[in-house]
A = this chain, B = another copy of it.
Amino acid sequence: MENNEDCVFDLSDLQFALQVLGGKWKLYILTSLYFGKKRFKELERDVLGISPKMLIKELKDLEALGIVNRQTFNTVPITVEYSLTEEGLTLKPVLDHMSEWAGGFKQNANSKMPT
Give the docked Cα–Cα distance between A15 and B31 (Å). Answer: 9
* A: interface residue count bin: 35 or more
B35 near A27: Cβ-Cβ < 8 Å: no
Contact mask for chain A residues 93-115; partner B; CB cutoff 8 A; 1 contact, 0 none: 11111111111111011001000
Q: Contacts A14-B95, A95-B9 given; indicate if A31 touches B101 (C-beta within 8 A).
A: no
Q: Which A35-86 residues sit within 8 Å CB-CB of chain B? A: 35-36, 46, 66
**Chain B residues within 8 Å of A13, by CB:** 99-100, 102-103, 106
Give the docked Cα–Cα distance between A10 and B98 (Å). Answer: 10
Q: Which A1-49 residues sit within 8 Å CB-CB of chain B? A: 1-4, 7-11, 13-18, 20-24, 27-28, 31-32, 34-36, 46
B4 near A36: Cβ-Cβ < 8 Å: yes
**Chain B residues within 8 Å of A15, by CB:** 31
A90 near B101: Cβ-Cβ < 8 Å: yes
Nearest neighbor of A22 in chain B, beta-carbon distance: B27
Chain A residues packing against B (C-beta within 8 Å): 1-4, 7-11, 13-18, 20-24, 27-28, 31-32, 34-36, 46, 66, 87, 90-91, 93-106, 108-109, 112
